[in-house]
Structure 1
Amino acid sequence: MMGGRILGVSSHRRAPLDARWTLCETPAGAIETPAQLADVPATDWLPIDAPDTVAGALRRAGRWSLDGPPKWFDAGDWWFRAHFDSASSMPYLAFGGLAGECSIWLNGVLLLISDNMHVAHECAVPSLIDGENELLMRFASLDAFLAHRRPRPRWRAPMVEHQQLRWARVSLLGHTPGWSPPAPAIGPWRAIEWIDRTSVDVSAVRLHSELDGSVGRVSLSVELAPLGEAGRIETVTLRVSRNGVSYEATAAQADNDATYAVSLTIPEVALWWPHTHGEPALYTAELVVESAGGADAVIVDLGNVGFRTLTVDTADGDFALSVNGVPIFCRGANWTPLDVVSPAALPEATRAALAQVQAAGLNMLRVNGCIVYEDDAFFAACDELGLLVWQDFMFANMDYPADDEHFVASVREEAQQQLARWQAHPSLAVICGNSEAGQQAAMWGAPREAWSQPLFDEELAELAQRYCPGAKYWPSSAHGGAFPHQNDAGTTSYYGVGAYLRPMEDARRSGLRFASECLAIANVPQPATIARMPGGTSLRSHHPGWKARTPRDLGAGWDFEDVRDHYLQQLYGVDPVELRGTDYDRYLHLSRAVGAEVIQATMSEWRRPASGCRGALVWFLRDLWAGAGWGLLDERGMPKAAFHGLRRASAPIHLFLTGEGTNGLALHVVNDPVKPLAANVEVALYRDDGLRLQSSGRDIAVPAHGGDSWAIGEWFDSFIDVSRAYRFGPAEHALVSATLRDASGRTLDRAFYFPDGLSAHRRRDVGLEIAGIEKRPDGSIALSVSARTVAQSVYFDADGYVAEDEYFHLAPGETRAILLNRSPDDVRPTARVSVSALNAWTGATIEVPR
């Protein structure tokens, strides 16, 4: 079976199963065999255009939608039927993923039984009928499976709807009603393909790349066997190339064995770096197999490899990841499928989504144990774009039956298949046994010995080391302290700022080391997204239709909008309930700003040079459906204000200010890139009406991959209560602004500090202006925006466009260049662009050039 790092073999063919597909539902257990289907009326069979999840197929046929009445997919049995002509067949059928308890028949003969959606299968095809053949796939009712009596778990996982889901190797998507849409994956969720092999069979690939000083080494072992009339294998050559330069080594064959092994070295090898710290250099790898008889050489595509060292220091409760000897602050988010209904995405869609992550300055994504494994295109794109990956096995929160032989055997096969695919990907940094299983056990009150499970601490750890020795194995996403979710030891799910309503200062006070997930807030999307929700823009946040898409913990008396409202009141000093009732649009604008301000402030705090935090991954990059979900992006990838806040805090060169109480104000500069930074910083104090009271500047030097901090009090000739900690009298300045410029005067970053906090008060006018508007050939709009006085949380109104940045602050007299890109939504572009600020009643509007 092709898999692992084998992306293609030149003498092999693959083609999708071209068939006429139909789908029907039958009562659970009512029909067990193909012969019994004769009693199903022909009208019960729905023509579908391709194999997909049940929900995906029904959606494409117009029979179901996330926006329509809910359907309980787990109640019945689902049958997929394919009719195809034998002329298009090949010797093997491959099933990339079968979600649910599945039985497959070909022309009435049982071909395959599968009960793990994360395992791929390949079947030799028996003799076919001349003319039309029938493939039948039955996905049995999950409800019926869960109804079987089994031992009770040692603890409960409140987020799942049925505790015995721990026995089913299915995704938790669709089974966690507090946060995922009611669309569980059932059916053939990955490709069904014909496979034909000639010349040579390729299997059992073990590929490893490593770095020894300046020398790169690629090690490969593989099993090869001649097929059919092919002659014996004469030579096997490993070829590794970059920029037109190739390195080759000949493999040696083990005695009386089909195994070939080879090791190749590359002097002065180009290193792979996370994109924030350097170039993610890659080499192509391929195997050239030459056989006796003069046949064409067979080329085995092994994809790209990269060379880097990766270490994780866990001494004294740390979790400090270094690449090529350089400490990396890992910032990013938890990845979610691009389409929750049909989780298998097209490669080009995956790459575009990852390019958006890279452009935002994020350098790590976590594929958490609640969702699904991503395909080869995901890792290939992460390698290319310089994005680190924290990869969970698909286990979360529950007490899995690790003493059941069938379950463990299935998990072992699942893990080996996934690890074989992940091997030698330089982007793969952490392999994690599960998501929060030990934490859930501890929080439920299970005894300490239940917090660790041999499946995760031993078996998966051993497999990970065997296949992927260049990645760090970690037993659980929350692990390492006196209890699993201790903030200042190991890794944790940090929700101090967030669900636990701790003050913003808790970001520092907690002593956080590494947040595998954090900062879950119900982020309000843009108006275009709200318009796609059932009820459209008339829907209000307290309406049941809105609340149905607001994430919550099952059984809790609050949801994550209550969390956001808490910080709205803390940051802006207004009652969210009163504001929502009297000025709903204002409530939405402030709510959007909350996500941006909270995430930017906390992530910047964790990036301080003196901070002990090594990384933080926001819980959910992208929403699963339109609504005020945890996502930084909506379900189509459109940025929310929170995304812009994280992007600003994640810039490779980042300037920010922190209040240090009676110690005044501190200024910090972080310089991730490979070159030292020589720059100038100017600090200015402004009155509320825009008058510049004082300023001071100095040249700074920050080492490559480093950072530095300064006390702002040193930059002025006399004492100034810059942070307003002493409050000896009325405030003179309302804003402290800092600007970082390079030697040419180009602005690299800006930072703002409001001594008296953010204000919900509005002036009549802050002098916002739009100038230099230009419509570009690609349909985007370039413009500049400026303000006469302090402009707080500047945002745009431009139907059909998406702002490159918004909910940012403007200092008096400052001008920002902004690009408005065309929205992928089918919305007629506006003829006018408006800009507003949260602290002003009036904004500015300008016509868009034709």
Structure 2
Amino acid sequence: MIDLSGINWTLSVTEAGAFGSPLVTGHQWDFVPAAVPGTVAGALAEAGRFDPDAPTPLHDKDVWYEGWFEAEPGAYRLCLDGLATIAEVYLNDVLVLDSRNMFRRHERPVELQGNNVLKLCFRALAPHLNAKGSRARWKPQLATSQGLRLIRTTLLGHMPGWCPEIHAVGPYRPIRIEPADRPRISEKTILADLAPDGSASLSVSVRLENIGAVPVLSCAGTSAEMALQEDGSFAATLRPGTVTPWMPHTHGTAALYEVTIDAGGDQFCLGRTGFRRLETDAGEDGKGFGLKVNGVPVFCRGAVWTSADLLGLSGDAEIYRPLLEAARDAGMNMLRIGGTMLYETRAFFELCDELGLLVWQDFQFANYDYPVKDEAFVAEVEAEIRDQLAISMGCPSLAVLCGGSEIYQQGAMMGLPEERWKGPLCEEILPALATDLRPDVPYAPNSPSGGVLPFSPNEGIAHYYGVGAYLRPLEDARRAEVRFAGECLAFSNIPDRQSLDEHLPVKPVHDPRWKARVPRDRGAGWDFEDVRDHYLKTLYDVEPADLRYGDPDRYLDLGRAVTGEVMEKTFAEWRRPGSPCQGALVWTFQDLAPGAGWGVIDAGGQSKPAYYALKRAFRPLQLALTDEGTNGLAVHVLNDGPEERAVTLSLTCLRDGQVPVVSGKIDLALAPHSARTLNAVELIGAFFDVTYAYRFGPLSHDVTVVELRDQGSGDLIADAYHLTGSGLSPMHFDLPDIELRPDAAGGWLLCLAARRFLQSVSLSIPGFQPEDNGFHLAPGIAKQIGLKRSLCCEPSTAPAGVLRALNLRGQASFKPTESSDREPS
């Protein structure tokens, strides 16, 4: 095999249509080095000719790639896994492929000479966007061109206010050349199943080329000869005796098993698979949407994935791994690839398999009225879906296939009747392909869908922005009766100070470059910083405009805290046992540009304060509080795991953030995959107005602290807090005790002990990322936080940093000495 990523590639940008043939390429062109796989934007940026922070259009130019290589003369296969978007491929100046779909994978038989040249021409997309097509029944504001409904390309780069206008152009997926007589598997289907009685089966079908022997399939300690089928393929079904079921990491073990085929000494690895059974759960009234994995109801929580590399569109495991591990570490168990994004590579799914992350895969259709009466368009779509589902074949992480994003919603919001916006693309074409290729994966016609209107949150799948863009009070999260939020809780989430200093060194809020990075919906007169400010005023009773003017640093600190607090409170509502909600995915997982974007991970890969809030909200063994008014304080304890847990639950009400007023505790045995709700009275043993609902006299306490500890070790598992006064705790000067010490694994532990309640503790430690941040800390709780060294931090560097809190006057600095330095400011 010839891996063409290893040869020297160059590219040249020309005016659209300037050259119709590769025969004119040569020394007169302005060539720059290029990487394959890669993009034009990435190559030009590497050459200093493209600024990702101020991108220039690329869809109005032609781009020619050229690469020379040597080979033994003979017959080969040219394999191209992804070309964006209108592409012509010339081998030795002969046209071998004309592609008009970014999401297709291509193979072409070719003859090679001793010396060869491969030329790729990526034609300007703009003329195709302006081409006439069938009349659309509605015109969304999402993207810049209505012509995008006619072209199979990503919407990334075409959605102002959502992401930088970096256009996807180039050979963004690998190119290789294989000998035509090389033994190979040309097609495969893999279906791993787990029956209700726990028995496992693996059905595999393959089509072989250049192999004469009978293949033998092996997996999980069992093997079987594969039988020749009438269509020329080979098939076999294995029934392993004992396997560990694959479960999302929050609910069990993500067990995987290697699948191999031996055909007369030719060994083929088909990857790893997991045995699991997926079912949709419509709830008792049949109006909901949820997932059961191996019969266990799973509350799906996570975020909507955007892109690991907007500039280069890389699909390598080393790009994905740190982000996917961050998702796993945050307690997320599902990521949704939305219809406005990009199909990801096999490496993405394999990592999700390994890490126990479920994947919701939208097919890449969003908002538009697609021309499904065009037979050529439909044929291209069918080929695209077959190509893309072949990539994730056998991957247990693939959990939902969805017809796309907001197609139904757009039509319905335009006032069209259901028969106009519900059509064959999502109701017939896509589900038929999904059922044929991945019958083990549930299909949803669209996100959102399912209610009397497709965007009604109390049925089916919702895009819930009641709390968020629609500025509803936090109580709306319960009132809306959300069943499953395919996306929700979009805020302009502010990165930490260090990240802003490194990636966006401007005066926050007032600098136009700051405002340009705040996401907005195209055509709207507001942005998502306005949304954040609304909840800043609502929860903390402060005037955002006054803070921005008089104390911008405090404005940013409060802004960092408030979006996380809204998320924690909302997920406490949705995860409580009485809630009809069966899952919710935050919009979005990662930012596409530096600044206060939607992501909970910033564009530099660093966790924002909102990420840590979700990490607390998503704990598999969880403690959450809800204020039930005159019904008191509800304490919800959840055990998503597969084992019984013996725990102790304690509650303490504090006056002035330090003086205990009342307390109580109770021992519990939490069954596997269970949840229960207690009232604070059950811990205290008598009436006490914990929520200050009855208001008998002055407020006796300002914060209630609830702890969940392991009965055996006494270790703190989770803590939760309820503030009974203002949303902001009173300011004080009591600095905490801080100690930095090495841990047994060669890392560092930050040990904290507060004298008085600290609200939203913020840690800034250059070169290190703490396991927790933005947390509340009560007196009497000894908190230990592991510090993870960043890749750019030298191994010999010891951590040193600063601790702040919303109610702390001053800050505490610390470094690894016997007694921590503490410097009020």
- Return the TM-score normalized by structure 2: 0.95
**How far apart in 1 are the matches of 2:668 and 2:729?**
35
Residue correspondence of structure 1 range 485-504 to structure 2 within 5 A: 485-504=455-474
SS across alignment from 1:316: coil
Match of 1:551 among 502, 514, 519: 519
Hey, what does 1:823 align to over in structure 2? Answer: 790
Residue correspondence of structure 1 range 241-260 to structure 2 within 5 A: 241=220, 246-255=221-230, 257-260=231-234
Match of 1:220 among 204, 212, 231: 204
| Structure 1 residue 847: Cα displacement | 2.6
1:395 and 1:434 in contact (8 A); partners too:
yes
Hey, what does 1:33 align to over in structure 2? Answer: 21
- Structure 1 pair 616–14 and aligned structure 2 pair: CA distance change class (3 A): farther
SS across alignment from 1:802: strand
| Structure 1 residue 777: Cα displacement | 8.9
Hey, what does 1:425 align to over in structure 2? Answer: 395
The alignment status of 1:183 with 2:169, answered yes or no, reads no
The alignment status of 1:741 with 2:709, answered yes or no, reads yes
Match of 1:280 among 250, 254, 265: 254
1:159-199 CA-partner distances (Å, limit 9, x unpaired)? 10111111111111000011111111101011111223546
| Structure 1 residue 89: Cα displacement | 9.0
Residue correspondence of structure 1 range 361-380 to structure 2 within 5 A: 361-380=331-350
1:77-121 CA-partner distances (Å, limit 9, x unpaired)? 111122223459972221110001011111211111101111111
**How far apart in 2 are the matches of 1:169 and 1:829?**
49
**How far apart in 1 are the matches of 2:591 and 2:86?**
28
1:203-239 CA-partner distances (Å, limit 9, x unpaired)? 2312111122221111122222436xxxx32x22110
Hey, what does 1:706 align to over in structure 2? Answer: 674
**How far apart in 2 are the matches of 1:557 and 1:88?**
63
SS across alignment from 1:187: coil
Hey, what does 2:104 align to over in structure 1? Answer: 119
The alignment status of 1:848 with 2:819, answered yes or no, reads no
The alignment status of 1:271 with 2:248, answered yes or no, reads no
- Structure 1 pair 777–693 and aligned structure 2 pair: CA distance change class (3 A): closer
2:55 and 2:164 in contact (8 A); partners too:
no
Hey, what does 1:240 align to over in structure 2? Answer: 219
Amino acid at match of 2:760: S
- Structure 1 pair 345–757 and aligned structure 2 pair: CA distance change class (3 A): farther
Amino acid at match of 1:248: S
- Structure 1 pair 170–194 and aligned structure 2 pair: CA distance change class (3 A): same
Further displaced range: 204-213 or 326-335:
204-213
Further displaced range: 277-286 or 609-618:
277-286
Hey, what does 1:4 align to over in structure 2? Answer: none
1:335 and 1:368 in contact (8 A); partners too:
yes
Hey, what does 2:593 align to over in structure 1? Answer: 625
| Structure 1 residue 382: Cα displacement | 1.1
SS across alignment from 1:353: helix
1:799 and 1:830 in contact (8 A); partners too:
no
**How far apart in 2 are the matches of 1:668 and 1:88?**
70
1:43-63 CA-partner distances (Å, limit 9, x unpaired)? x22233545211011112222
1:429-462 CA-partner distances (Å, limit 9, x unpaired)? 1000101110111112233212212011111101
1:654-679 CA-partner distances (Å, limit 9, x unpaired)? 01111001111111100011112221
**How far apart in 2 are the matches of 1:325 and 1:555?**
45
Amino acid at match of 1:220: V
Residue correspondence of structure 1 range 178-577 to structure 2 within 5 A: 178-196=161-179, 198=181, 200-212=183-195, 213-226=197-210, 232-233=212-213, 235-241=214-220, 246-255=221-230, 257-290=231-264, 297-314=265-282, 316-534=286-504, 536=505, 538-577=506-545
| Structure 1 residue 150: Cα displacement | 2.3
- Structure 1 pair 814–826 and aligned structure 2 pair: CA distance change class (3 A): closer
2:128 and 2:147 in contact (8 A); partners too:
no
Hey, what does 1:9 align to over in structure 2? Answer: none
Q: Mark the runs of 5 or more structure 1 residues left unpaired by the alignment.
A: 1-12, 291-296
Match of 2:41 among 43, 55, 60: 55
- Structure 1 pair 826–812 and aligned structure 2 pair: CA distance change class (3 A): closer
SS across alignment from 1:91: strand
1:799 and 1:829 in contact (8 A); partners too:
no
1:752-775 CA-partner distances (Å, limit 9, x unpaired)? 100124216422x1332202x124
**How far apart in 2 are the matches of 1:717 and 1:250?**
67
| Structure 1 residue 776: Cα displacement | 5.7
Hey, what does 1:167 align to over in structure 2? Answer: 150
Hey, what does 2:627 align to over in structure 1? Answer: 659
Match of 2:10 among 2, 8, 22: 22
How many aligned residue pairs are there?
Answer: 813
Amino acid at match of 2:463: S
Hey, what does 1:100 align to over in structure 2? Answer: 85
**How far apart in 2 are the matches of 1:188 and 1:808?**
44
1:768 and 1:843 in contact (8 A); partners too:
no
**How far apart in 2 are the matches of 1:175 and 1:211?**
42
**How far apart in 2 are the matches of 1:273 and 1:304?**
14
1:323-382 CA-partner distances (Å, limit 9, x unpaired)? 111110000011122111111232133233212211111111111111111111111111
SS across alignment from 1:476: coil
**How far apart in 2 are the matches of 1:606 and 1:384?**
27
SS across alignment from 1:586: helix
Hey, what does 2:691 align to over in structure 1? Answer: 723
Hey, what does 1:10 align to over in structure 2? Answer: none
1:782 and 1:819 in contact (8 A); partners too:
yes
SS across alignment from 1:739: strand
2:14 and 2:62 in contact (8 A); partners too:
yes
SS across alignment from 1:99: coil
1:513-538 CA-partner distances (Å, limit 9, x unpaired)? 0000011000000123212445x1x4
- Structure 1 pair 452–829 and aligned structure 2 pair: CA distance change class (3 A): farther
| Structure 1 residue 717: Cα displacement | 4.1
2:657 and 2:703 in contact (8 A); partners too:
no
1:802-822 CA-partner distances (Å, limit 9, x unpaired)? 221111001123221012222
Match of 2:807 among 839, 844, 847: 839
1:798 and 1:830 in contact (8 A); partners too:
no
Q: Mark the runs of 5 or more structure 2 residues left unpaired by the alignment.
A: 819-825
Match of 1:80 among 53, 65, 68: 65
Hey, what does 2:119 align to over in structure 1? Answer: 136
1:574 and 1:760 in contact (8 A); partners too:
no
**How far apart in 1 are the matches of 2:608 and 2:5?**
40
Hey, what does 1:3 align to over in structure 2? Answer: none
| Structure 1 residue 788: Cα displacement | 0.7
Hey, what does 1:674 align to over in structure 2? Answer: 642
SS across alignment from 1:210: strand
Hey, what does 1:151 align to over in structure 2? Answer: 134
Further displaced range: 824-833 or 79-88:
824-833
Amino acid at match of 2:715: R
**How far apart in 2 are the matches of 1:811 and 1:550?**
34
